[in-house]
Structure 1
Amino acid sequence: MKLYLDTSTPETILRLDQTEYRLPLGNQLAEQLLSAIHQKLSEHQATWTDLTEITFMAGPGSFTGLRIGAAVVNTLADQLNIPLYKSTGEQVPIILPDYGRPANITPPKK
């Protein structure tokens, strides 16, 4: 089963093979992403080990959303020992998010 994930916007797009889900996870992405994927796998009578490859939309987009999504797909691909792809079709060892611009990091006050 192929997993596609896009966490670049407040509405997460999750695709399992040809079935697409739009999940309004917004600010709850970090807390709910893994359970949402698990729930959708269960609806297909599948488990984590049924995943054969992962594709991730690496950006540009939300800094936090991309960071959370990349951490999840990198971990899953590594632990399940399955191929990982960018949305461009390029196979990569790990996903590096493309934020579209430098991160807006507040400098220290002192």
Structure 2
Amino acid sequence: MLLLAFDTATPAITAAVHDGTAVVAESTVVDARRHGELLLPSVDKVLAEAGASLSDVTGVVVGVGPGPYTGLRVGLVTAAAFGDALGVPVHGLCTLDGLAHAAGASGTVGEGPFVVATDARRKEVYWARYEGPGRRVTDPAVDRPADIAERVAGLPAVGAGAALYPEVFTDVRPPADQSAGALASLAAQRLATGGEFLPALPLYLRRPDAQVPAGYKAVLPK
């Protein structure tokens, strides 16, 4: 098994290679505006560090969000292209689950409840609640932090979104950014146990920022 994993649903452009036992290479660059420019060089880098080529990959793992439209689609389109070109499966995972898995693996959270929150912009967060690193108990959602303050009060929180609102998330712990290594490890675990994956489709939770202006008039041929 050789899994190629990446995620562009957050400002972290992150890629990793997992050999079925452990992460053998990983690269993460935080840049909210350059997902399209940085993803493929990151993939090339981790494959080279792993001593592998793209043709060695037996499966692609991709974070499906939630995340902003522009960045998220870069990873999903790339995953679909690789899957089609290589004839390998594409395994979708919730981006928040990757952060939760990383927090559990590093020991920053235990088996009790905690929250993962990433920055959704517009003064909102994408978030979900967990009962231990492998047990998400709410669907991913997008909300203003003040609107969920009672639901997350006193809970440990991980993710860069939580760090932006310390008045709501009062116990912020690492990691802040997504890790493709953690995403790949979670995928390897699920593959070994027959766990389920998500379709490699974008989890937006709200309409894209770019929209056709109101009052736009189509010009029809005469």
Q: TM-score, normalised by structure 1?
A: 0.85
Instruction: Return 80-89 or 66-75, whichever deviates more.
Output: 80-89
What RMSD in Å do the two structures reach over aligned CA positions?
A: 1.8
Matched with 1:32 is 38
Which blocks of at least 5 consecutive residues in structure 2 are unaligned? Answer: 95-195, 217-222
Identity across the alignment (%): 28
Distance 1:16 1:74 in 2: 17
Q: Is contact 2:69-2:208 (8 Å) kept?
A: yes
Number of matched residues?
108
Distance 2:51 2:86 in 1: 18
Matched with 1:107 is 212
Q: TM-score, normalised by structure 2?
A: 0.45
Instruction: Return 60-69 or 11-20, whichever deviates more.
Output: 11-20
The structure 1 residue matched to 2:79, chosen from 73, 76, 80, is 73
Q: Is contact 1:8-1:65 (8 Å) kept?
A: yes
Matched with 2:66 is 60
Distance 2:54 2:198 in 1: 20
For residue 91 of structure 1, report the CA deviation from its aligned partner: 6.4
Query: Are 1:97 and 2:199 an aligned pair?
Result: no
Distance 1:91 1:60 in 2: 12
Q: Secondary structure at 1:59's aligned position in 2?
A: coil
Tell me which structure has the larger Cα radius of gyration. 2
| Residues 40-73 of structure 1 deviation map (CA, whole Å, 9 limit, x = unaligned) | 1011111101111011110101211111111100
Distance 2:27 2:10 in 1: 14
Q: Is contact 1:7-1:13 (8 Å) kept?
A: yes
Q: Is contact 1:14-1:23 (8 Å) kept?
A: no
Which blocks of at least 5 consecutive residues in structure 1 are unaligned? Answer: none
Matched with 1:9 is 10
Distance 1:23 1:16 in 2: 16
